[in-house]
Amino acid sequence: MKKIFSIFSLFVLLIIDFAAFAQTQRFPRPEFESGYTQPVASMPEPRAGIFALVDVLLLIAALSLITWFIHRKRSRTGVVITSLFSIVYFGFLREGCVCSVGSVQNVVLALFNPGYHIPLSALAFFVIPLVYTLFFGRTFCAGVCPLGAVQDVFLLRPVNLKKWLQKVLGLIPWIYLGLAILYAATGTDFIICRYDPFVGIFRFNATFFMFAIGAAFLLISVFIARPYCRFLCPYGVILNLVSRVSKNHLSITPASCIQCKLCENSCPLDAINKPVEVKQMEGKRSATRRFILLGMIIPALMIIGGWVVSNFHENLAMVNSKVRLANELLHFDSNTMKESLEIEGFRTSGKTKEELYLESAAILKQFYYGSWMLGAFIGLVFGLSLAGLTRYKYREDYEPDKGECVSCARCLKYCPVESN
Amino acid sequence: MERRDFLRSGLRGLIIAGLAAISGVFVYRNYTTKETCEFTTPCQDCKQLKSCKKPEGLKFKRDQQASKN
């Protein structure tokens, strides 16, 4: 263990040294008194590419290492070490960018806008954790994501929330994901990055508002495990779904469960499913009635959701700077009002008002259809959550909930069964 | 193989195929087409920021100034 740790530390130190060395300007740029200006380099900057590659390689290394710690070594200590590395490297050194959580928006923008070239590192940060999750569960959340890791190290006195509250709060990430997709697809904004509570802390440049939100999340993390991951993270929603079909998920016991109940309350995320006794089969008539009812409720919720949200499409579109500017120009009166910086900038750009209004109208149309889809999506999530409450699943052993479990490995030490 | 395992492995295959296809399309597009998208949220990486007169650029510079003060 010590040997592995020292090799790993050496590797990390080498990488950090390499980065620091490459960033130093070895020769100062000459200044010419004759007024000569240096031509702009026509070649792309090579350092950006190399560092993007280093980031991706380190992501793969960290994911492989933490997966090995969880599945082979069954070691919580290993998870903590990887978490600390992620906080230092992906958090403070890389300043929380590029991150998998935000990369969702890059992918959405690239899907809806063929003219956008997605940075390959962003694509890799989106795809690689998904592939690992598909095979090993949410090992990315366990300690490679700096946002999750920073909350995890703050968890000192875990308190379990009521199940109904967890279910209700658990709907928020879906809505947030829907909004993030709407804003990225329309090329409006990357709201996940803009309202990331921890990035400002990692960069030491948070506004007071964002710092307060980040600090509040960290304070809540002392008692409630990973509040951002569970009740806000949009990438967590995708990982949750993918993890349900994972090939090799973490298991609490290394062999057969002896039903000792020691692990029952060990999970701070309340992600351990307890055994469920065999229930008497539901009558065919009642099951059919329930199925028909749900079959009617879900489409109805989707239509209601779509209609409600589409009524707010103009408000949602106000986040778009072009729509906002067009609205501002429309209501601008030069006699009584002072010109804002945005209007001044627009005048110097040489664009006509009509062009801006046309662009704005096109964006509003996108928002109208987008908000219908967003509302229908929210209705679908509500409907499926309702349907999930009525679902019965027989279970013999204590098992981690494959969707909710972030593979933090806390429960492992509670199991008295030794591996064969 | 149980029915559920069969469905799960099928879904896994579908997800991997989907991810591979999307990645392939994006990489191919990056190397064969010219970028035309105007979306530039990370203004701080933009080389034209200093002389930028676009509303987004102006707003970004104003926000930067405000956060410094």
For B7, the 3-state DSSP assignment is helix
Q: What's the mean pLDDT in A265-282? A: 86
Provide the pLDDT for residue A157: 93
Residues of B in contact with A118 (CB under 8 A): 26, 30
Indicate the helix (H) or strand (E) that contains B68.
helix B55-68
Tell me which chain B residue has its CA closest to the CA of residue A239.
B15
pTM (2 decimals)? 0.82
**B5 plus B26 within the same structural domain:** yes
Greater confidence, B53 or A128? A128
Residue-range domain boundaries for chain A: 1-26+47-277+398-420, 280-391
The residue among B29, B34, B37 with the most chain A CBs within 10 A of its CB, best to mutate, is: B37
What is the average pLDDT score of chain A? 86
One domain for residues B44 and B66: yes
Res A337 pLDDT > 90: no
Residue B27 shares a structural domain with residue B50: no
Question: Which residues touch A111 (CB under 8 Å, ≥6 apart)?
Answer: A185, B22
Would you tell me which residues 1-60 of chain B have a C-beta closer than 8 angstroms to some C-beta of chain A? 8-9, 11-12, 15-16, 19, 22-23, 26-27, 29-30, 33, 35-39, 41, 53-59
- Quick one: B17 and B45 in the same domain? no
Q: ipTM value of the model?
A: 0.80
Q: Does the beta carbon of A247 lie under 8 angstroms from any beta carbon of chain B?
A: yes
Please report which confidence band the pLDDT of residue A129 belongs to, taking 50, 70 and 90 as the band edges.
Answer: very high
| Position A16, amino acid | I
> For position A210, what pLDDT does the model report?
87
In terms of domains, do B23 and B44 share one?
Answer: no
A115 touching B, CB under 8 A? yes
> Any idea what DSSP says for residue B35?
-
**What are the pLDDT digits (tens) for A232-263?**
999 999 999 999 999 999 999 988 889 899 99
- Express each pLDDT in A392-402 by its tens digit: 788 888 999 99
Q: Do A123 and B29 touch (CB under 8 A)?
A: no
The pLDDT value given to residue A199? 87
Q: Are residues B46 and B21 in the same domain?
A: no
Domain with B59 in it:
38-69
Q: Which residue of A40, A43, A118, A125 is the best one to mutate when testing the B interface, meaning the one whose CB has the most B CBs within 10 A?
A: A118
3-state secondary structure chain A: CHHHHHHHHHHHHHHHHHHHHHHCCCCCCCCCCCCCCCCCCCCCCHHHHHHHHHHHHHHHHHHHHHHHHHHHHCCHHHHHHHHHHHHHHHHHHCCCCCCHHHHHHHHHHHHHCCCCCCCHHHHHHHHHHHHHHHHHCCHHHHHHCHHHHHHHCCCCCCCCCCHHHHHHHCCHHHHHHHHHHHHHHCCCCCHHHHCCCCHHHHHCCCCHHHHHHHHHHHHHHCCCCCHHHHHCCHHHHHHHHHHCCCCCCCCCCCCCCCCCCCCCCCCCCCCEECCECCCCCCCHHHHHHHHHHHHHHHHHHHHHHHHHHHCCHHHHHCCCHHHHHHHHHHCCCCCCCCCCHHHHHHHHHCCCHHHHHHHHHHHHHHHHHHHHHHHHHHHHHHHHHHHHHCCCCCECCCEECCCCCCCCCCHHHHCCCCCC
Nearest to A127 among B12, B19, B54 (CB): B19
Residue B11 sits in the same domain as residue B24: yes
Instruction: Give how far A160 is from chain B: nearest CA, Å.
Output: 31
CB-nearest to A245 from B11, B26, B62 is B11
**The total number of structural domains that make up chain B:** 2
Pair (B24, B7) in one structural domain? yes
pLDDT (average), residues A91-117: 90
pLDDT at residue A211 greater than cutoff 70:
yes
pLDDT at A45: 41
pLDDT exceeds 60 at position A31: no
Banded pLDDT at A23 (limits 50, 70, 90) = very low
B7 with B29, same domain: the answer is: yes
Q: Using the beta-carbon criterion (under 8 Å), do B35 and A190 form an inter-chain contact?
A: no
